[in-house]
Amino acid sequence: MKHRPAHFIILLLSLLLSLPFSGLAAAPPDFVVLAKELKPAVVNISTAQKAKQQQRRPMQPRSPFNPHNDFFDDFFNRFFEGMPQGPSQKQALGSGFIISKDGYIMTNDHVVNGADTVTVKLSDGRTFDATIKGQDEKLDLALLKIETKEALPVAALGDSDKLEVGEWVMAIGNPFGLEQTVTAGIVSAKGRVIGAGPYDDFIQTDASINPGNSGGPLFNSDGQVVGINTAIIAGGQGIGFATPVNAAKDILDQLKETGHVTRGWLGVSVQPMTEELADSFDLEEAKGALVAEVTADSPAGRAGVKRGDIIVRYDGSEVNETKDLPRLVAATPVNKTVELGILRDGKEKTLKVKIAKLEDGQSAVVEGEEDGEPGQLGLSLSNISPELAARLGLQGTDGVLINAIDPNGSAAVSQLRRGDVILEVNGKATPNVAAFKSAVGKVKKGDTLRLLVQRGESVLYTTLKAD
Domain ranges of the chain: 160-257, 264-367, 375-465
Integer CA distances (angstroms), 48 to 126, 134, 222, 431, in order: 18, 18, 35, 58
Structure confidence at residue 78 (pLDDT): 44
Residue 416 CB: number of other CB atoms within 10 A?
22
One fold for 264-367 and 375-465: yes
* CATH homologous superfamily, domain 375-465: PDZ domain (2.30.42.10)
- The one catalytic residue in 140, 200, 309, 324 is 140
For residue range 314-346, what is the model confidence (pLDDT) as tens digits? 999 999 988 889 889 998 999 999 999 999 988
For residue 413, pLDDT beyond 80:
no
- Alpha-carbon distance of 399 to 452, in angstroms, equals 10
Would the pTM of this model clear 0.75, i.e. be above it?
no
Q: Which of 2-11, 191-200, 404-413 has the lowest mean pLDDT?
A: 2-11
Q: Which of 263-272, 369-378, 395-404, 424-433 has the lowest mean pLDDT?
A: 369-378
Structure confidence at residue 21 (pLDDT): 44
For residue range 91-104, what is the model confidence (pLDDT) as tens digits? 778 999 999 999 99
128 forms beta bridges with: 120
Residues at the binding site for substrate are 110, 140, 212-214, 230-234
- Alpha-carbon distance of 167 to 169, in angstroms, equals 6
Structure confidence at residue 322 (pLDDT): 86
Structure confidence at residue 219 (pLDDT): 97
CATH of domain 264-367: 2.30.42.10
For residue range 48-98, what is the model confidence (pLDDT) as tens digits? 988 655 444 444 444 333 333 443 344 334 443 444 554 556 777 899 999
Write down the mean pLDDT value for the chain.
82
Q: Which of 14-23, 89-98, 247-256, 453-462 has the lowest mean pLDDT?
A: 14-23
* Whether residue 140 lies in the annotated active site: yes
- The one catalytic residue in 46, 109, 110, 201 is 110
Percent of the chain residues topping a pLDDT of 70: 79
- The one catalytic residue in 188, 214, 363, 410 is 214
Position 375 confidence tier, pLDDT thresholds 50, 70, 90: very low
Structure confidence at residue 60 (pLDDT): 42
Structure confidence at residue 131 (pLDDT): 97
Q: Are 232 and 211 in contact (CB under 8 A)?
A: yes
* Whether residue 22 lies in the annotated active site: no
* Whether residue 68 lies in the annotated active site: no
> Could you say which architecture CATH assigns to the domain 160-257?
Beta Barrel (2.40)
